[in-house]
Amino acid sequence: MLPLVAQRVALGLLTLLAVSVLVFAGTEILPGDVATAILGQSATPEAVEAIRRSLGLEEPAALRYWHWLAGFLHGDLGNSLANGRPIIEQLDFRLKNTLFLASAAASVAVPLSVGLGILAAINQNGSFDRIVNIVSLSAISLPEFFIGYVLILLLAVKLDWFPSLSAISPEMSFGERLYDIALPAATLTLVVLAHMMRMTRAAIIGVMSHPFIEMAFLKGLPRWRIIVQHALPNALAPIINVVAINLAYLVVGVIVVEVVFVYPGIGQLMVDAVSKRDVPVVQACGLIFAGTYVGLNLLADILAILSNPLLRVPK
Amino acid sequence: MRLLGHRLSGGAAVGFAIILANIVAISFARWIAPYGEADLVGDVWAPPSGADWLGLDNLGRDMFSRLLFGGQTSVSLALLITALSFSLGIVMGFTAATTNRWIDAALSRLVDIIMAIPQLILALMVLSVLGTSIPVLIGTIAILDSTRVFRLSRAVAMNITVMEYVEAARLRGEKLWWIMRREVLPNALPPLIAEFGLRFCFTLLFIASLSFLGLGVQPPEADWGSMVRDNATAINFGGIAPLVPAAAIALLTIGVNLVVDWFLSIHGRAHGEGA
């Protein structure tokens, strides 16, 4: 098993490296370079040349990539083009906020969706299962901002239970911050809940056709016990996989949700940077998002290997 | 009710009705819309009334008329992008499946790397360099989306290229392009058509998200996503203005999903059954 895990980790690191190349190449090699992006199309050639020199753009691309990556690994993300300040200053607080929001949403969404999925599987083709099915099918089709604005309208404006904007600041206590992010976290939860729940249900039902389940039925065990004790452990690998994929999706969905709730996170920072065409900031945010995404997928692979009893025994 | 020789399920009927209503409303927008796209007809964010039954928007324009015209932009962009990504993805996928191992390996690894990064992140990075314009938007999303089509069409074509009739065509000396078009494509159609529906939904949502973020369709053009953005602040006064275009997106997506579900269920059967 260990070689398998090591292989996965190596493959994951390789993917990360390839992703960093793509992030770099995507913003550097495309036509239209950073210097013209800053100055606009009407800039004089001399001005463009001066900016290019100050940014080190006359170096070959491979060398620049190396400097960029080495800097990134040392926590030096370069300077923002828009205000000239180090990117890490803006990123630090915002990254923590985004992680706070995403983990709050995940800690609600994962237990809830796996629990509901198990309930739906126990009650297969019953009324609960059917209602859950219809609701989740339509929830998949809803854009994040639709869910966000409906929640704002109902819970913030009409009922006045939660704030509609989540402008949190470092001085706030943990409880205050948690209260402030209630609505964005709920939106994110709803966005991933349906998919995770359906897949949990499908994974368990997929196991139900195995002979050992039939054996358990013949022994006279109640349905809920068969599902919880016999089917669930065997459905763990696909469930873990789906949870990780959805967490990865959550990391991306956070961008739109942050804009809806004007939440000071890294997603909002990235969107602002794109509209200002602040390429270094976009690169830094992009690499963080992509790295998290790759990392979560890697984690899913490893957990799936660990949860498979066949791979746990040395051959 | 039956369609193409298959019984239409309740969900599929609703789905077709939604799609049909959207097509009619959007194609005949100019005649259906009570006001022009830019006509100011009343107070900002006036609530729904008899004359303008979806209310007015952030400048006092009729929401219903705007919805029809915005839909033209949203739906035609999504259709165009999906069509492009399909042409690109299918050609690449079939090429990978029918030609030699090296081309296949090279294309597959490239697609693996692109798919290792979330699509929204990649799109944002490209837009930050190239700037936001409709052609850039179309090109970027079509190329990024074609990776998913590539995966599917390659997998489907892999199963077809090992069939005897493809072998026979090869031995006859048919050209690669001819084999892809006449032997592989017709047999790969059902899963690809279903995928087309799903990718259309995805693209519709994707453009809407970008426009909502202010990085998609730019004013004076409007689509459903940018309409949500323009009207966003109305929500704080209890207005429903941003929800209207968002609901239009959701409704069309649900409609297409219902039809795709039905389509998959009739083609999931063994050959000779049903059809």
Question: What does the H/E/C string look like for chain A?
Answer: CHHHHHHHHHHHHHHHHHHHHHHHHHHHCCCCCHHHHHHCCCCCHHHHHHHHHHCCCCCCHHHHHHHHHHHHHCCCCCECCCCCCEHHHHHHHHHHHHHHHHHHHHHHHHHHHHHHHHHHHHCCCCHHHHHHHHHHHHHHCCCHHHHHHHHHHHHHHHCCCCCCCCCCCCCCCHHHHHHHCHHHHHHHHHHHHHHHHHHHHHHHHHHCCCHHHHHHHHCCCCHHHHHHHHHHHHHHHHHHHHHHHHHHHHHHHHHHHHHHCCCCCHHHHHHHHHHHCCHHHHHHHHHHHHHHHHHHHHHHHHHHHHHCHHHHCCC
What is residue A278's three-state secondary structure?
A: coil
- Write the pLDDT tens digit of every residue in A292-302: 888 888 888 88
Closest CA to B197 of B82, B74, B81: B82
Task: Kindly report the nearest CA distance between residue B91 and chain A, in angstroms.
Answer: 23
Contact check, Cβ <8 Å, B246/A271: no
User: What confidence score (pLDDT) does residue B86 get?
Assistant: 93
Answer yes or no: is pLDDT of A247 > 90: no
Residue B13 lies inside a defined structural domain of this protein: no
For residue B74, give how far its alpha carbon lies from the nearest alpha carbon of chain A (Å).
14
Give yes or no for a cis peptide into A60 (omega within 30° of 0).
Answer: no
For residue A103, the model assigns a pLDDT of: 87
Q: Residue ranges per domain, chain A? A: 87-279
For residue A79, the 8-state DSSP code is B
| B218 in reach of chain A (CB within 8 A) | no
Is residue B2 included in any domain, yes or no? no
Yes or no, beta carbons of B235 and A252 under 8 Å apart: no
Mean pLDDT of A162-188: 77
* The pLDDT of residue A309: 66
Distance of CA A90 to the CA centre of its chain: 20
Q: Is B45:B239 a contact under the CB 8 Å cutoff?
A: yes
Chain B residue numbers touching A286 (CB-CB < 8 A) = 117, 121-122, 124-125
Q: Which residue of A has its CA nearest to B261?
A: A137
Q: Is A221 a residue whose pLDDT tops 50?
A: yes
Residue A32 clears pLDDT 60, i.e. is over it: no
Whether residues B114 and A251 touch (CB distance < 8 A) is answered with no
* pLDDT tens, residue order, chain B (275 aa): 666 667 777 778 888 999 999 998 888 878 887 777 777 777 777 777 766 777 777 777 788 888 888 888 899 999 999 999 999 999 998 888 887 788 888 888 888 888 888 888 888 888 888 878 889 899 999 999 999 899 888 888 888 888 888 889 889 988 888 888 888 888 888 888 888 988 998 899 999 999 988 888 887 788 888 888 888 888 777 777 888 888 899 899 988 988 888 887 777 543 333 33
pLDDT (0 to 100) of residue A227 = 84
| B47: in domain | no
Question: Running DSSP on this structure, what letter comes out for residue B2?
Answer: E
Q: Tell if the CB–CB gap between B208 and A157 is shorter than 8 Å.
A: no
A108-125 tens-digit pLDDT: 988 998 888 888 888 777
Look at A293 and B128 and tell me if their CB atoms are within 8 Å: no
Pick from A26, A255, A297: which is nearest to B125 by CB?
A: A26
CB contacts, 8 Å: B121 with chain A: 252, 270, 286, 289-290, 293
Q: Which of A92-96, A257-261, B5-9 has the lowest mean pLDDT?
A: B5-9
- What mean pLDDT do residues A36-47 have? 66
If one counts the domains in chain B, the total is: 1
- Nearest-Cα distance to chain A for B22, in Å, is 16
Chain B, nearest residue to A40 by Cα: B131
**B20 and chain A in contact, CB less than 8 A:** no
Give B182→chain A minimum CA distance, Å: 35
A156: closest chain B residue by CA: B236
| Whole-number pLDDT of residue A66 | 84
Chain B positions in Cβ-Cβ contact with residue A149 (cut-off 8 Å): 228, 232, 235, 242-243, 246
Residue B36: closest CA among B62, B74, B71: B62
Which CATH number is B218's domain given? 1.10.3720.10
pLDDT reported for residue A157 = 74
Complex ipTM more than 0.90, yes or no: no
The domain of B79 spans: 27-41+53-274
- Considering only the beta carbons, identify the residue of A30, A152, A259 that sits closest to B126: A30
How far apart, in whole angstroms, are the C-alpha atoms of residue B133 and residue A271? Answer: 16
- Residue A194 is predicted with a pLDDT of 82
Q: Over range A225-230, report the average pLDDT.
A: 85
Domain A87-279 has CATH 1.10.3720.10: yes
| Chain B residue whose CA is closest to A284 | B125
Does the structure show a pLDDT above 70 at A202?
Answer: yes
Query: Chain A partners of B250 at a C-beta cutoff of 8 Å?
Result: 138, 141-143, 146
Interface of B with A in 153-182 (CB under 8 A): none
The pLDDT assigned to B274 comes to 33
Taking all residues of chain A, what is their mean pLDDT, rounded to a whole number?
80
Chain A residues whose beta carbon lies within 8 Å of the beta carbon of residue B201:
141
**In A, which residues are within 8 Å of B257 by CB distance?**
137, 140-141
Contact A256 B128 (CB under 8 A): no
**Chain centroid to CA A102:** 8
